[in-house]
Structure 1
Amino acid sequence: MTDWLALIYPYAKAFHVMAVISWMAGLFYLPRLFVYHAERGQTPEPAGSFVVMEDKLLRLIMNPAMIATWVSGLFLVLTPGIVDWSMAWPWTKAACVLGMTWFHMWCARQRRLLQARQGHSGRRYRIMNEVPTLLMVGIVVSVIVKF
């Protein structure tokens, strides 16, 4: 069974990188849309535009990219000889990926709250916009340095 994982490993890795780039782009951009929505979306027309952009970004780009990241990532970690689970790096990467997934779900909830005009301030969304950057640093350092 694991022979086919070794055969598809380079393709799974390439697909994983593309999926991560798409997911991260959305995780960086959606909270920025929340800032604009919270600060400028007081009138019905701009708020409607933000709602459409946020919805499409989350449903059409971020959700599929997150799923593709997880699926391809699981193919990678299940490939024999790729991950040494006795080291710290796979565990720190896993923790950061779980954090990234939590942030994705937080964004999905915030989108619904903003639609209902119950969201946070633009300042809070600006602060939260830094979360995916910190998690990305943890992931990249874990994978490249392999401590």
Structure 2
Amino acid sequence: MFAESKKNRIEPIQGQTNRIVENTKIKGDLISEADIRIDGDLEGSITAKGKVVIGRAGKVIGKIECMNADVEGTFDGDLKVENVLSLKSTAVIEGDVIVGKLAVEPGATFNAACSMKGASLKSVKEDGQKQQKAGEKSA
């Protein structure tokens, strides 16, 4: 009885990585519960609950949503990273980026509109105006 239920259970996907190797070109959307490594070309979107790695030879044009990302290659589009986006020295990023945290090595090219999750420019301006008004009232 218990042996049968173990066979029907789905094992966690942690530690497994989907790979798109060099000289592979894909047009379309990828959705994964696991990590994804791109060393070829992808035009489309990636949605991953794990980490997305764009290798040195990798090129992605489109949209990525993931938990963490390491970029060594080229990305052009919309990038949303829940936790940490790490840009290696060979990375080239263009587009719009929303991140929790950003790490950039010297040499990386980062031509993007970037916002940190949780703090928008509008809220920062509103806080500054509130502090200025509070200072005027106490004076």
- Scaled by the length of structure 1, the TM-score of the pair is 0.22
Higher relative contact order (CA closer than 8 Å, sequence separation 6+): 1
Q: By percentage of residues, which structure has more strand?
A: 2
